[in-house]
Chains A and B, each alone.
Chain A
């Protein structure tokens, strides 16, 4: 086999990693390199060091250790039956690239994933070696995200969590049936068990009031990714899966990745990509579940799909006109959060401001950055929507003319 130079490897192994949507580098414990012998810091909010023309943030060096893989998952560019070019980094090469990029302020840290070579244990062991070397040999205090191999032994998973800020296991498909059909070697039971183990380790690492504090395990928690549009699952099924993952395993994030055509696609997949808007609506619904007090059933039925033309909160409000208008000077936080056009920040600012004065429409306009969408649903000091809330053509009035994302 020809020896590949480092630049070619980097090209192959970052191309192979780009279908993972996660790039977050926030939410870890605060630390910096003062008093250390290396570099690195995490100060809560992650930083996006660049943006690619696909609008995605580049925060981490997101690469695969290798894209050789013994699995044959139909949606994956690295599946064993794909004709893609293959490469493999050495542990040292990944360490050097990470530090080199970090010192030039290109990145917040490393996001390391891998195809499965030999066995789950062997693969994860190699990945852990990278993280361990960065932390112990170089005193690197930047961000590290490791993609765990669910089949690996629990002891290795525990070790990974000692060096990583975040760990993740991709569940990839919303239903167990499609996982079996499209990823024959993956076993949803193994994935769930691994997530359960990670959750227990994270909880234990956080337990307060213990005399001997155990080492912190993955302080930025765990996340996962679902591929959208590679199977026939409805949005209801997808969100149901997410709700269960948040509830069962305390995930920080579920990422939704619209299935994207890959250079060498499998026959069992649709060639057409799903609209990116669907991914966007799923994120909005996900936010409603996590920060706005909505239950999944309120947003979409089991087999239902989200409305692509309007956002899910507006859709909910239009179907629940009896709950509106909401008085911005009196309503409780829960009711304000359910009002279209009002986000968490806006609502909290409104509540702070209304201790000082009666809110007028002008105030709402400044706080909410735009008022047309909000107007029919609220009462303010100098504003009442009258019959506007109940008008049959309200949807046409408040719906954006053309969805921005296609």
Chain B
């Protein structure tokens, strides 16, 4: 019989060394007894493992096992050392054993690891510090009873979180102390070593009682996450029985009490605000009115799913006006035209053509973003004729207020809106077209069309054509 005595309940290094030596010597799991120093064991005399000569070649331990074993060793179950050695022993024949999560040994080890990880998590959650009175700088101490031996593995969390504060966490197993610079451990103590109270606990209980909604009692859900074994060290837990007992009564009282009438002045104020809203049916007389009107527009249904109406933007007396199709995803969020990917292409083309954007006016044929949802993305959808027609009200107002000399329609939708009829781009681009209001029109590709052209050469040609048309328009407007 081989007796291995470990330094402490979580002596992973000791276990690892002993297990390695035992396995090399071919000692079978049922011929080993594991004990922890200081815990009452059957054998009076301590015995280390003699480093006898190894019986076979060396061996490798899967990383997954080492990670698991480091957790399992913190479990309170006395069987843990034995179980881990048995697993180590079995690797020789069953190399993929760790993957077989349906094996009873593997399943048990995994369950123990899970218990440990949960105990560590609950320690992070349920430690409650109390201020040690009379000490400066502030120092705190907590009394905590962990479900497993998790003080060492969890103490790092508290150091990272409370670096600028002095604290001790006292437990029956082991205590940890942070002095602002170093972490140290000492033997377990009894609860009377911890401060008995803290002035803020009453405030915490006030908060706990007030945040509870008696109309939605779910006691089981609470207990699943906050098991009773932790209650005696949680200052708020003493309120629970009473909160549960009075919940039904409180809810009934709320439902039974007669509803009050809303204050008349509030309703009146709201009605007045609705009446004075900045949207009227009259044609806008200024760009400011137009901006407000576009945002409040209900002439078609596109406003429903859009964030906002996106009006045109630019010089109030621009000689050159650009009309695009409709705002895209980015334009819809920002409330400004041509700021997304197509806007970048547009800006590059303007620069190449020598057209200063700030001296022009940039708008869209349709002012709300038409799209459909695909998963979590909003995909652009081309507006249909009724929507284009409905929105001409705004485009015409912009034309009337700005009176540009030249209007450039970018893409087919814009061409339809500007010229009032379908105007194919390829056949009509590169020349001036007379418009009814004495302005001249130019039609060219929409920048986003170029984004979708897959062939690099065709793309370059399209971009060159766009630049050419922009330069032409700028010349016409001069």
- Residue of B96, B202, B332 near A248 (CB, 8 A) is B332
In the assembly, what is the distance between CA of A48 and CA of B211, in Å?
Answer: 14
Question: Contacting chain A: which of B32-40, B74-82, B250-258, B411-419?
Answer: B250-258
Chain A residues near B201: list those with CB within 8 A.
104
* Interchain CB contact under 8 A, B161 and A41: yes
* Interchain CB contact under 8 A, B377 and A247: yes
Known A-B contacts A11-B210, A248-B378, A366-B102; A81 and B254 likewise in contact (beta carbons under 8 Å): no
* Interchain CB contact under 8 A, B207 and A10: yes
* Interchain CB contact under 8 A, B213 and A185: no
CB interface residues, A 34-80, toward B, < 8 Å: 34-41, 43, 47-58, 61-62, 72, 74, 79-80
* Interchain CB contact under 8 A, A10 and B206: yes
Would you call B319 an interface residue if the criterion is a C-beta within 8 Å of the partner chain's C-beta atoms? no
- Residue of A54, A81, A296 near B262 (CB, 8 A) is A81
* Interchain CB contact under 8 A, B262 and A106: no
* Interchain CB contact under 8 A, A261 and B200: no
Would you call B44 an interface residue if the criterion is a C-beta within 8 Å of the partner chain's C-beta atoms? no
Rounded to whole Å, the gap between the CB of A169 and the closest CB of chain B is: 12
Known A-B contacts A192-B307, A196-B334; A61 and B165 likewise in contact (beta carbons under 8 Å): no
Chain A residues near B243: list those with CB within 8 A.
52-53
CB interface residues, B 406-440, toward A, < 8 Å: none
CB interface residues, A 236-254, toward B, < 8 Å: 243-244, 246-250
- Residue of A40, A57, A82, A184 near B225 (CB, 8 A) is A57
Rounded to whole Å, the gap between the CB of A273 and the closest CB of chain B is: 6
Would you call B335 an interface residue if the criterion is a C-beta within 8 Å of the partner chain's C-beta atoms? yes
Chain A residue nearest in CB terms to B144: A105
Would you call B11 an interface residue if the criterion is a C-beta within 8 Å of the partner chain's C-beta atoms? no
Chain A residue nearest in CB terms to B296: A189
Would you call A17 an interface residue if the criterion is a C-beta within 8 Å of the partner chain's C-beta atoms? yes
Rounded to whole Å, the gap between the CB of A373 and the closest CB of chain B is: 19
Known A-B contacts A36-B163, A366-B107; A244 and B262 likewise in contact (beta carbons under 8 Å): no
* Interchain CB contact under 8 A, A41 and B124: no
Chain A residues near B99: list those with CB within 8 A.
353, 356-357
In the assembly, what is the distance between CA of A43 and CA of B161, in Å?
Answer: 9
Would you call B274 an interface residue if the criterion is a C-beta within 8 Å of the partner chain's C-beta atoms? yes
What are the interface flags for B253-297 relative to A under an 8 Å C-beta threshold, 1 for contact and 0 otherwise?
Answer: 011010111110011011101100000000000000000000110
Would you call A295 an interface residue if the criterion is a C-beta within 8 Å of the partner chain's C-beta atoms? yes
* Interchain CB contact under 8 A, B267 and A184: yes
* Interchain CB contact under 8 A, B308 and A196: yes
CB interface residues, A 188-245, toward B, < 8 Å: 189, 192-193, 195-197, 199-200, 243-244
* Interchain CB contact under 8 A, B251 and A261: yes
Size of interface on B: residues with Cβ below 8 Å to A: 90
Rounded to whole Å, the gap between the CB of A296 and the closest CB of chain B is: 8
Would you call A316 an interface residue if the criterion is a C-beta within 8 Å of the partner chain's C-beta atoms? no
Would you call A394 an interface residue if the criterion is a C-beta within 8 Å of the partner chain's C-beta atoms? no
Chain B residue nearest in CB terms to A60: B211
Chain B residue nearest in CB terms to A71: B266
* Interchain CB contact under 8 A, B213 and A43: no
Known A-B contacts A103-B138, A189-B295; A55 and B211 likewise in contact (beta carbons under 8 Å): no
* Interchain CB contact under 8 A, B333 and A35: no
Chain A residue nearest in CB terms to B160: A32
CB interface residues, B 299-322, toward A, < 8 Å: 304-308
In the assembly, what is the distance between CA of A115 and CA of B263, in Å?
Answer: 17
- Residue of A247, A260, A295 near B215 (CB, 8 A) is A260
* Interchain CB contact under 8 A, A52 and B208: yes
* Interchain CB contact under 8 A, A264 and B200: no
Known A-B contacts A261-B254, A405-B218; A50 and B208 likewise in contact (beta carbons under 8 Å): yes
Known A-B contacts A32-B163, A80-B266; A62 and B254 likewise in contact (beta carbons under 8 Å): no
* Interchain CB contact under 8 A, B142 and A74: no
Would you call B129 an interface residue if the criterion is a C-beta within 8 Å of the partner chain's C-beta atoms? yes
Would you call B449 an interface residue if the criterion is a C-beta within 8 Å of the partner chain's C-beta atoms? no
Chain B residues near A265: list those with CB within 8 A.
254, 257, 259-260
CB interface residues, B 204-223, toward A, < 8 Å: 204, 206-222
In the assembly, what is the distance between CA of A287 and CA of B402, in Å?
Answer: 49
* Interchain CB contact under 8 A, B215 and A196: no
In the assembly, what is the distance between CA of A61 and CA of B207, in Å?
Answer: 8
Known A-B contacts A18-B212, A366-B102; A49 and B207 likewise in contact (beta carbons under 8 Å): no
In the assembly, what is the distance between CA of A20 and CA of B220, in Å?
Answer: 21
Known A-B contacts A35-B163, A106-B128, A262-B254; A53 and B207 likewise in contact (beta carbons under 8 Å): no
* Interchain CB contact under 8 A, A80 and B200: no
- Residue of A14, A35, A81, A363 near B210 (CB, 8 A) is A14
* Interchain CB contact under 8 A, A10 and B100: no
Chain A residues near B215: list those with CB within 8 A.
260-261, 273
Chain A residues near B198: list those with CB within 8 A.
104
In the assembly, what is the distance between CA of A243 and CA of B210, in Å?
Answer: 33
In the assembly, what is the distance between CA of A51 and CA of B220, in Å?
Answer: 11
What are the interface flags for B107-132 relative to A under an 8 Å C-beta threshold, 1 for contact and 0 otherwise?
Answer: 10000000000000100111111110
Chain A residue nearest in CB terms to B372: A247
CB interface residues, B 159-173, toward A, < 8 Å: 159-165
Would you call B393 an interface residue if the criterion is a C-beta within 8 Å of the partner chain's C-beta atoms? no
In the assembly, what is the distance between CA of A248 and CA of B331, in Å?
Answer: 12
* Interchain CB contact under 8 A, A6 and B222: no
| Most chain A CB atoms below 10 A, which of B159, B212, B222, B333 | B333
In the assembly, what is the distance between CA of A106 and CA of B221, in Å?
Answer: 20
Would you call B12 an interface residue if the criterion is a C-beta within 8 Å of the partner chain's C-beta atoms? no
Would you call B101 an interface residue if the criterion is a C-beta within 8 Å of the partner chain's C-beta atoms? yes
Chain B residues near A39: list those with CB within 8 A.
161-165
* Interchain CB contact under 8 A, B257 and A263: yes
* Interchain CB contact under 8 A, A189 and B308: yes
- Residue of A33, A36, A47 near B121 (CB, 8 A) is A47
Rounded to whole Å, the gap between the CB of B306 and the closest CB of chain A is: 8
In the assembly, what is the distance between CA of A103 and CA of B161, in Å?
Answer: 9
* Interchain CB contact under 8 A, B375 and A295: yes
* Interchain CB contact under 8 A, A54 and B206: no
In the assembly, what is the distance between CA of A272 and CA of B255, in Å?
Answer: 8
Would you call B373 an interface residue if the criterion is a C-beta within 8 Å of the partner chain's C-beta atoms? yes
Chain B residues near A6: list those with CB within 8 A.
203
What are the interface flags for A252-293 relative to B under an 8 Å C-beta threshold, 1 for contact and 0 otherwise?
Answer: 000000101111111111011100100000000000001001
In the assembly, what is the distance between CA of A335 and CA of B266, in Å?
Answer: 53
Chain A residues near B247: list those with CB within 8 A.
53
* Interchain CB contact under 8 A, B335 and A50: no
- Residue of A33, A52, A82, A363 near B164 (CB, 8 A) is A33
Please name 18 pairs of A and B residues whose Cβ atoms are closer than 8 Å in the assembled complex, sorted by A: A10-B207, A39-B161, A48-B225, A50-B234, A52-B208, A52-B243, A56-B216, A79-B262, A101-B207, A103-B165, A104-B204, A184-B266, A185-B273, A196-B307, A196-B335, A247-B373, A260-B215, A268-B262
